[in-house]
């Protein structure tokens, strides 16, 4: 039930941000950048929070999407971690022997991602939810990179968010 509620909220945010399949979509994109393949080192203290395989580009081969987080583990309490002001989050796609670092940075808050069916291709939606809020999409381009579009980016520090998660 909670996952369905979160997913419904994401769809509402996308609709409000103006993300659609129409030609007006580009007018509502705050920023577009390319994410090219790069060598990336997963931090030694990180743990694998998500590991999803899906065909993102419609070529019949599944790509691997991994989300690593680097919090501090609580000694003698397996699976429990200390969360402080900021952690390194790494959202990585492994495709055709290449590594695409969609996100690789400290963030004060949580990262959540969804994979949405967008016709033959799939789109990754990334929500950065913390002291600031950001909604981004990533779609694999046939030219060999991911196209990152920022649809919403709060310019101010958030004061409060809903208690429903």
Between CA 59 and CA 104 the distance in angstroms is 26
pLDDT tops 90 at residue 106: no
| Stated pTM of the model | 0.75
Beta bridge partners of 126: 113, 136
pLDDT tens for 17-29 read 444 333 334 556 7
3-state secondary structure of 56: coil
What mean pLDDT, rounded, does the chain reach? 80
Residue 160 pLDDT grade (very low, low, confident, very high; cuts 50, 70, 90): confident
pLDDT tops 50 at residue 12: no
Higher-confidence position of 157 and 33: 33
3-state secondary structure of 5: helix
Kindly state the percentage of the chain with pLDDT values over 90. Answer: 42
Higher-confidence position of 45 and 135: 135
């Amino acid at each position: 039930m909670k996952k369905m509620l979160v997913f419904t909220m994401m769809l509402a945010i996308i609709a409000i941000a103006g993300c659609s399949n129409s030609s007006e979509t580009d007018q509502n994109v705050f920023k577009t950048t390319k994410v090219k393949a790069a060598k990336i080192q997963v931090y030694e203290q990180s743990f694998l929070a998500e590991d999803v395989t899906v065909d993102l580009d419609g070529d019949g081969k599944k790509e691997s999407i991994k989300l690593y987080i680097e919090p501090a583990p609580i000694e003698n309490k397996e699976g429990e971690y200390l969360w402080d002001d900021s952690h390194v989050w790494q959202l990585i796609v492994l495709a055709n022997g290449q590594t695409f670092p969609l996100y690789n940075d400290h963030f004060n808050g949580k990262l959540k991602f969804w994979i949405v069916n967008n016709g033959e291709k799939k789109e990754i939606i990334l929500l950065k939810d913390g002291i600031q809020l950001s909604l981004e999409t990533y779609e694999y381009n046939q030219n060999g990179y991911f196209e990152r579009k920022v649809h919403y980016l709060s310019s101010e520090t958030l004061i409060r968010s809903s208690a429903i998660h």
